[in-house]
Structure 1
């Protein structure tokens, strides 16, 4: 019994080490959110078992929970670098499948067609000026290369309220649309898909949309990025704790082995 109990502890310690390693590896990943491993004990007994004599039979990983605390904000100076100063996610459209993605990584650029994209060619979704984000359907953010008068694109500005404005060589400004933000009833239920992106799952619930600086939605900071919320010092302490957890379970197996060998030698 003690072997299997300690083996479950070893497996859990390995999972904890893997999660901590993932956090440390992404300490410099823009928009990354750290995770933590939560454990639960396992007990077994029947209706005829004396509750005072029930023994535990090990532990299990209950969940790997994401922490969506806001990370440090770094100024970059690029107008299309956007950081969210509160709650909310940018909605993106997968460039290959068209599926909806959600991210806190606001490192955006323009592609050769004027679409606002991330490093994986996913397109930022925005709403038309005046649309109700609760009912309207977002569209790809695209900045025309020329305005109605034929003058070339000169620059872009994103306001705290999410309004995307493009300026042209003749000095005119056109409002392209407004960035909406998504929130979830249970963001820890979002499914990680890599590149600081998440997808909706049955645990997260459906997204609710609103504009920056309205209600529970945070404002936008143009020319800045939200960095990873990983605290290296905290993770190193957690790493040491997980290592000791692993060593303690390994020692318990070693002790049980020695006891078994002693009993075998006595019987022989």
Structure 2
């Protein structure tokens, strides 16, 4: 009986929906996390010569798991190397071992002993080189963000400030301030085509297109907020409603299998 397989597909779809919702809930407090939702499509038995009035449905399938890149809540931290993007765009980081470029909305960065600005995994934040006036000298080409720990006069680094337009300024103990670079943000034609790789990182794919690097506040990029982090965009109330709906769908499909089983048992027990 096709009803068994139709309901079985429904059970599998409900499991996928439940797993996606559980993943969202588990990351409700993960900085820079973006929630996902499952999209379903129906399956029908049809052909060019078939009578459209006799088309039979065969259940549903998972059409895709869509990522929602809506802006999450902004939390003030007061730490200069905590960055949030007020709008579209991604921070770009480079794995110094594999040279792989990954993209993230998690703007929690720190400076290492060599002056490099890195994420918690040690990947280097990407920026544009600038001249002494803070103007970009090589648009479109990014480099690892490195803050000189001493200036030309030998004074030690005292503090770092990052402006809304991405300009990174280094202040030294002798009172001087120098522009170090302009932070680069990446945008994509189809960001939903990015592949999640864990730790709130994504990599570009053929579905997303290549990254376009621009300054914050230009094109589709949002401005930077220094001293702040973007929280997860998961709405727990919405996820709980979705959880209840997915649970009821699972129960309904299980009941349909139970009913089909009773039909089969009745047929088996027929006596001539």
TM-score by length of 2: 0.95
* Alpha-carbon separation, structure 2, partners of 1:195 and 1:113: 24
* Alpha-carbon separation, structure 2, partners of 1:58 and 1:27: 32
User: Does the aligned pair in 1 maintain the 2:140–2:213 contact within 8 Å?
Assistant: no
**1:126 alignment counterpart:** 127
Deviation at 1:45, TM superposition (A): 1.9
Map Cα deviations across residues 183-229 of structure 1 (whole Å, 9 max, x no partner): 11100000101111110000001111211112321100000000000
Q: Is the 8 A contact 2:161 2:170 kept in 1?
A: yes
Which residue in the other structure is 2:65 paired with?
64
Structure 2 residue runs without a partner (length 5+)? none
Do 2:159 and 2:172's aligned partners in 1 also have CA atoms closer than 8 Å?
A: yes
Aligned to 1:230: 234
Higher mean alpha-carbon deviation, 34-43 vs 113-122, is at 113-122
Structure 1: distance between partners of 2:96 and 2:240: 37
User: Tell me, what secondary structure is at the counterpart of 2:270?
Assistant: helix
Gaps of 5+ in 1: none
Comparing 212-221 with 146-155, which one deviates more in the overlay?
A: 212-221
Given that 2:92 and 2:102 are in contact with CA atoms closer than 8 Å, whether structure 1 keeps it comes out as yes
Whether 1:194 aligns to 2:193 is: no
**Aligned-partner SS, 1:213:** coil
Q: 2:146 aligns with which of 123, 142, 146?
A: 142
Stretch moving more, 195-204 or 209-218: 209-218
Q: How far, CA to CA, are the matches of 1:182 and 1:132 in structure 2?
A: 18
Secondary structure of 2:264's counterpart equals: helix
Q: Within 2, Cα distance between the matches of 1:131 and 1:156?
A: 19
Larger displacement relative to structure 2 (88-97 or 120-129):
88-97
1:167 aligns with 2:171: yes
Aligned to 1:263: 267
SS at match of 2:108: coil
Q: Conserved in 1, the CA contact under 8 Å of 2:157 and 2:173?
A: yes
Which residue of structure 1 aligns with residue 245 of structure 2?
241
Matches within 5 A, 1:97-116: 97-116=98-117
What number of residue pairs does the alignment pair up? 267
**Alignment-derived partner of residue 17 in structure 2:** 16
- How far apart in 1 are the matches of 2:41 and 2:180? 51
Q: After TM superposition, give the deviation of residue 52 of structure 1 in Å.
A: 0.7
2:38 alignment partner in structure 1: 37
Q: State yes or no: 1:217 paired with 2:246.
A: no
Instruction: Report the counterpart of residue 182 of structure 1 in structure 2.
Output: 186
**What is the root-mean-square deviation of aligned Cα atoms in Å?**
1.2
- Specify the SS of the correspondent of 2:91: strand
* In 2: Cα distance, 1:198 partner to 1:43 partner: 35
Distance 1:113 1:3 in 2: 63
